[in-house]
Amino acid sequence: MPTTAREIHLASRPQGWPTPDDFRTVEVQLPDPAAGQVLVRNTFMSVDPYMRGRMNDVKSYVPPFALDAPLDGGAVGEVVATGSDDVAVGDTVLHQAGRRTHALLPASAVRRLDVSRAPATAYLGALGMPGLTAYVGLTRIAELREGDTVFVSGAAGAVGSAVGQIARQLGAAKVIGSAGTAEKCAWLTDELGFDVALNYKDSPIGRQLRGHGPVDVYFDNVGGDHLEAAIFAMADFGRIAACGAIADYNADAPVPGPRNMMMFVSKRLTLRGFIVTDHADAAGEFYRRAGAWVADGSLKYQETVVDGLDHAVDAFLGLHRGDNTGKMLVRL
């Protein structure tokens, strides 16, 4: 029997901050799975900063979202019908067809999850792409060394909170994070083990960071004033892993770069951008280590959950305002 599904489509390309008018909810009919396909009822979908860039029609490391077509992204759900011998009805799976209530997919496009090990939502956060991003950025890009001082911006988000904790597991001597509320800063220090948490809304981040360096590794999720502040605070031969620049994602005009780029020469700094999908070969190592860290409580995570597909756009905008602590999710 056909299944009625609801999908969020991109109706227009945002200029600056997206608005609800840039999206449209569409009802579609999905057929029963053919041979080699599965029908998944999504239970949770991921909300991630990178999705903003895909709404622009520009060349990037991943194709832009098409107009009048469903958005995609990470999601977990339950298989409700199957045409595959490898995936059974009732299996919990991870896939990339989020932003919809149901997804009809090749069985090869889903990954079965062991939910006895951790809740399904953990595979969208600490045990998923955000956790792997943190691990790759520290180990492969910044080449973290035992005894390093690490600074991470956006530290109360899904990636940043994992960065601080994984850095500690890998031998960092001091971990500094920035966040936008006193509550988030308290979470970082009181529960996640950060040595220092700076509320960037209290005063300029450069002024606050000055007394906590020198910084050997900066993991950049924010860009803008945070990148400039980190450059000032870096130790000689410091390494910067450039993961994102959420401060600029909704800008409607080009944003000036840091004013202290000459320090890359005087301090002999290294800045390297990276995309986690280029490092799929690190996934097995990460899952083995992170699974153990989650099990023994040394890698903790928090989720901010918004209910309902109709509020998915609110969740996306809230993510860019910093409304979330930890991973932003929509429960379907």
**How does pLDDT run across 200-248, given as a tens digit for each residue?**
999 999 999 999 999 999 999 999 999 999 999 999 999 999 999 887 7
Domain membership flag for residue 237: yes
- 165 and 100 fall within a common domain: no
The predicted model gives 321-331 an average pLDDT of 95
Domain membership flag for residue 46: yes
pLDDT digits (tens, 9 = 90+) for 98-148: 999 999 999 999 999 999 989 999 999 999 999 999 999 999 999 999 999
Domain membership flag for residue 99: yes
CATH of the domain at 52: 3.90.180.10
User: Hey, CA dihedral for 219, 243, 13, 309, is it positive or negative?
Assistant: negative
- 79 and 149 fall within a common domain: no
Q: Is the pLDDT of residue 266 over 70?
A: yes
Domain membership flag for residue 208: yes
- 135 and 229 fall within a common domain: yes
Closest CA to 328 of 91, 98, 11: 98
Domain membership flag for residue 282: no
- 81 and 143 fall within a common domain: no
Report strand pairing: 174-179 vs 149-152: parallel
- 138 and 243 fall within a common domain: yes
Percent of the chain scored above 70 by pLDDT?
A: 99
pLDDT for residue 194 = 98
End-to-end CA distance of the chain: 21
Closest CA to 72 of 48, 50, 96: 96
Domain count, the chain: 2
| Type of residue at 247 | A
- 97 and 138 fall within a common domain: no
Q: How many CB atoms are located within 10 Å of the residue 167 CB? A: 30
User: Hey, CA dihedral for 254, 255, 259, 265, is it positive or negative?
Assistant: negative
Do 231 and 153 form a contact (C-beta atoms < 8 A)? no
- 155 and 248 fall within a common domain: yes
pLDDT for residue 253 = 72
Going by pLDDT thresholds of 50, 70 and 90, the confidence category of residue 252 is: low
CATH of the domain at 148: 3.40.50.720
- 119 and 192 fall within a common domain: no
- 89 and 15 fall within a common domain: yes
Mean pLDDT, the chain, rounded, equals 95
Q: Is the pLDDT of residue 249 over 80?
A: no
- 171 and 141 fall within a common domain: yes
- 239 and 213 fall within a common domain: yes
pLDDT digits (tens, 9 = 90+) for 159-173: 999 999 999 999 999
pLDDT for residue 1 = 79
The domain containing residue 173 runs over which residues?
A: 129-277
Percent of the chain scored above 90 by pLDDT?
A: 91
pLDDT digits (tens, 9 = 90+) for 29-59: 999 999 999 999 999 999 999 899 899 998 8
- 75 and 168 fall within a common domain: no
pTM, 2 dp: 0.93
